[in-house]
Chain A
């Protein structure tokens, strides 16, 4: 079946450090891929998405590129801020389906 695997957290970085959170998926066909973020005390929010191979999603300085050949959608940011501290979820969904399949989430802690 479909699954999403994320690197385990927590990831602890200093402010202005480079961030990578790895995400790989196993799926048949070509799903749409997403990153959701959950700030403390809030619901999940869509951060960015990509719907086909080689697409790059970007938002708030975060980027992720849909890599079909490696079945990956790694999240990157060049310079993290304390306000980026949150839990980040990688997810996928197929055209015609309703269910988002989520990874287990990666907690990011950014220290000043």
Chain B
């Protein structure tokens, strides 16, 4: 069964460092997303990406964040200068069409710990 894969499963980084979280979406999907979940809080939308550009983003997704699809398979989230409050589980997801029409498939998540 096709699945979304994320690497690494756990990343520890020092405050102020840049970090890149990687995702391989399902191969024939066209819509890509990043969500995050701070421990004990809700899963929050960060950004969606379609046709090689950001189609929607939340207020959390400020200038410190960027996304990229550098090749035909990877989808990355970069945090330019990490803060302690960026510590969270980050989920990548993909869907064939818009999420209200088809299922969004989620990866297992990357736990980011900023120290």
Contacts and interface: CB of A to CB of B under 8 A. Distances in A.
Interface string B1-19: 0011000000000000000
A112 to B, nearest CB: 27
Interface of A: 31-32, 36, 41-46, 51, 89, 91, 93-105
A97 B109 CA distance: 23
Question: When A and B form their complex, which 9 residue pairs have the shortest distance between CB atoms, in order from nearest?
Answer: A98-B48, A43-B106, A99-B45, A102-B43, A32-B100, A44-B106, A98-B56, A46-B103, A43-B108
Given A43-B108, A89-B43, A99-B48, A94 B4 contact: no
What band does the interface of chain B fall in when counting residues whose beta carbon is under 8 Å from A?
20 to 34
B51 interface: no
Interface in B59-115: 91, 93, 98-100, 103-109
B42 A100 contact: no
A44 B107 CA distance: 7
A23 to B, nearest CB: 13
A109 B94 CA distance: 29
